[in-house]
Amino acid sequence: MIITSGPEQPSGRFLDSETDTLIRAGRHTRSTIALLLVGDLLLACSAPPLSAYPSVQLTPDRPDRQAMLVIPSDRTTPSQLPLQSLPTESTLAPGLSYHPQRFELVRVSPDGRYAIFSAAGHHNLIGLLDLETMAIQEIDLLTEGDVVAFHWAADGRTLAYDYLPANGYRRVKGYDIESGEDLVVPRAERNSATHVTFESWGPRPHEIILRITDRGSNERRTETVMLIPRR
């Protein structure tokens, strides 16, 4: 019998067991990494996105709507615009005084430069707030009636708004931010017994689609018009 000396060789059973252990460890590591990646993805999806523009809201702790809160895009210290900061005399109708009682509506432009708002009182002020300088510009005055809704064009250069005058027939006006011109609907329907309301913006500048409702028959139709400067 010949006996040779040398290192002991592991049995095949031991090699199979070690291989299985390594495979299971590798699978566990890959599963852990996958779970971490999925968790990170879910956290990223659930995190509220930060807007690139400031936001404006009526102060939640002031139910009487006596102030607006301007929240910067980086969510740093917000600025507050109290009702007392509004002009007390109209620049559009000199000699006419304002006595605003509350803010009604506010909406930020798509480019984040401005916020349009209305303040109700004996006369209703429609004002434009520069969100960088906090300067206020009066763009319209409603001696009677209320603003119903604001509508910004996608480029933030034009504004339209629905309002309800004292006669009870809804109407639409507009405003060109760059030129500072008041815009109106150039149709006779605005003087008839119909409700004229904003439907959507058209493809061209100052073009809007109106929804016109006959108050008597309740018949409805849409009409595309170009807002024109008020003369």
Q: What is the pLDDT of residues 145-171, one digit of tens each?
A: 899 999 999 999 999 999 999 888 999
**At 40, which helix (H) or strand (E)?**
helix 12-46
Strand (E) positions, 101-193? 102-108, 114-120, 124-130, 136-142, 146-152, 158-164, 171-176, 182-184
196 shares its domain with 123? no
Domain ends where: 117, 143, 169?
Answer: 143
| Assigned token pair, 126 | 């429609």
81 shares its domain with 92? yes
Higher-pLDDT residue of 148, 231: 148
161 shares its domain with 207? yes
Q: What are phi and psi of 46, to 5 degrees?
A: -85, -15
**Residue 190: what pLDDT?**
58
Q: What's the CA gap between 165 and 144, in Å, rounded?
A: 6
pTM score of the predicted model:
0.73
122 shares its domain with 165? no
* CB contact at 8 A, 83 and 102: yes
Nearest residue to 208 via CA among 188, 231, 187, 181:
187
Residue 84 maps to a domain: yes
DSSP letters spanning 78-101: -EEEEGGGS-SB-SSSTTPBP---
Among 33-37, 43-47, 93-97, 221-225, name the most confident range.
221-225
Q: What is the mean pLDDT of the chain?
A: 79
Mean pLDDT for the stretch of residues 118-122:
89
Residue 229 maps to a domain: yes
**Residue 112: what pLDDT?**
92
Q: Structural domain of residue 197, as residue ranges?
A: 145-231
pLDDT digits (tens, 9 = 90+) for 44-91: 344 334 457 778 888 666 567 888 888 887 777 888 889 888 988 898
